[in-house]
Structure 1
């Protein structure tokens, strides 16, 4: 099971977290987010062994494509109301497209069918007008309704205190491909507690072995 640490912002913190070798590091390009990346030079500190993910929320398509090209992003996470045609504009042989959906008990998993050809994977987060970063989890048992074959990222309020509660998901028809961590590992918005990141990596390995 892969590990993604999202909402990275500051150079020293990026370097410290990258040293722990998560699979993905996420960078948020949504101006309303407190984790918005305003210093693009920090992107150059990510080693090539870690996939860089650009996170957008209903961004101007040309602007987003330019950022992805200029900074050699490996993946794009689309966290707004992007339509399938918009998502497909990012797909290349080297760029992974992750389409995020806010989940609650009313979510219609049939919605995903339209996105099958437009993205490589889905991301399920707690439904919120903030588009993520709430620190709250949703009822993971809802994922028993997921019948698609595409891999999915699981996000939303996952941290050291509740990671072991993911264990029942290992028996689901579709096991999460990647666990996405953000605010529950922070000391302040955009600053990850490196010790918590280390702990969560160890815990996840123990959970899945």
Structure 2
């Protein structure tokens, strides 16, 4: 089955010159989803990787998800494209975020099926931007996250200055250890290609359960 532009799901937001985009990732519980969806952010992320403590497949309410008037991003790790498409249709996802070792061809296949693609890139002590050139034509955003024991949600930041030499046309979100305690530093970032931020583990009470007060604090301080 193919998603098309005529789908009732909202489109993936474009970068805005006047303010950074904000994605809250790792939501799991319906009541918490509703509470976070009421806050002024741009994207919500839902993890469909079985090994994640934020695995949401069995806890989300599909009818609620399809009715949410927000941008919904499904996060997958090395999942088969057919499975991704099936889950996206079931939950009314707007886009998918690929957080494993998916190839540029997989990204292209999902985009051809009508799903915008965010490709997560793990960053350690170094970042080899030339390795991303093959992905750039097939991705709407990159998500630069900190390499760690888990595919994401490790709660630590990498050296953001590694992105100072970014020259690709694909915009990106910054992830990894972002929360109210470092939002002042984020406001001062002026990196090429930076479109916004992806917050997760630093704004939750437990894996999958977000603290709406911390998210609101982050939003208020980030956008002033």
Counterpart in the other structure of 1:87: 107
Q: CA deviation at 1:85?
A: 0.3
Task: Measure, in 1, the Cα distance between the counterparts of 2:221 and 2:204.
Answer: 17
Q: Is the 8 A contact 2:30 2:59 kept in 1?
A: no
Counterpart in the other structure of 1:4: 23
Task: Measure, in 1, the Cα distance between the counterparts of 2:195 and 2:113.
Answer: 20
Counterpart in the other structure of 1:70: 90
1:108 matched to 2:136? The reply is no
Q: CA deviation at 1:145?
A: 2.1
Task: Measure, in 2, the Cα distance between the counterparts of 1:92 and 1:24.
Answer: 21
Q: TM-score, normalised by structure 1?
A: 0.92
Q: CA deviation at 1:182?
A: 0.1
Q: Is the 8 A contact 1:9 1:42 kept in 2?
A: no
Counterpart in the other structure of 2:40: 21
The gaps in structure 2 that reach 5 residues or longer are 1-19
- Cα gap change, 1:77 to 1:151, in 2 (>3 Å): same
Q: CA deviation at 1:82?
A: 0.2
Give the alignment's Cα RMSD to 1 decimal. Answer: 1.6
Q: Is the 8 A contact 1:123 1:154 kept in 2?
A: yes
Which 10-residue stretch deviates more, 61-70 or 134-143? 61-70
The gaps in structure 1 that reach 5 residues or longer are none
Q: Secondary structure at the match of 1:153?
A: strand
Counterpart in the other structure of 1:190: 208
Counterpart in the other structure of 1:38: 57
Which 10-residue stretch deviates more, 68-77 or 52-61? 68-77
Counterpart in the other structure of 1:138: 158
Q: Secondary structure at the match of 2:143?
A: strand
Q: Is the 8 A contact 1:21 1:50 kept in 2?
A: no
